[in-house]
Amino acid sequence: EIKEVREVRDMAAWLQKTISEVEKVNNVSCGLEDKLKETGQRLNEIVDSLTKVEVMAYTDELTQIANRRAWDSRLKLEFNRFVRYGRPCALIMLDLDDFKNINDAHGHKVGDQALKEVARILSQNLRVVDFAARYGGEEFACLLPETRLEHGVSAAEKLRKGIADTEFTVKGRNTPITASFGVSSFLKGDVEADAALQRSDRAMYLAKSKGKNQVRSEKDLRAAEKSMAEKELK
């Protein structure tokens, strides 16, 4: 009996010690779980912060559309897609007409509001797959994937009309806003994306020279340059 009692006592002591060790392990596990949850939450916060910083880096602070850095990146991406798959893509450049007059007459705050209004019109009238950016100053640029030149011209005309028809008021008075547009598309002979961008830019200045508030394409540009060359030869 004494031997059996001792064995029972030893077993009870062993069980008590084992339970104590298990409780310690459980406490450590709970602590680790809490720390892991805390670490996970902190990592999520860091990822969110980095995402916000990245978005800010590619967003124009005033108009809240893409900035020049984002434009350069997307332009390169679409051009590479064109080179690889031959998919069409139209480019639109637009510049607000007589923007300096708005700033001089009404101040830069009003000018900023005009830029915001143009950005809003671009965002509302372009497709989800299209890409609009503030290129610099009062100049904007748009990329229209899967779009041929003639359809790019139609899209630019829609944007031009949207800007010209907007009711932009300053101190209760309607202040017209207009823009001149240039449209181009990637061509097989283009070595880099900037070649198409330059054609779009030159077509835009052709629209300026022809009276502003209108759309001109790279076809118009070629015709104008050909006409000028013929005149110089005479």
Catalytic residue IDs: 138
Q: Which residues contact 178 (CB under 8 A, 6 or more apart)?
A: 96, 97, 98, 160, 163, 164, 212, 213
Which residue is listed with tokens 């720390």? 35
C-alpha span between 86 and 74 (Å, rounded)? 17
Tokens of 221: 């540009």
Strand partners, 179: 96
Cα Rg of the chain, angstroms: 32
Q: Where are the beta strands (DSSP E) in 106-151?
A: 131-136, 139-145
C-alpha span between 30 and 22 (Å, rounded)? 12
CA atoms within 13 Å, Cβ hemisphere of 121 = 27
CA atoms within 13 Å, Cβ hemisphere of 195 = 9
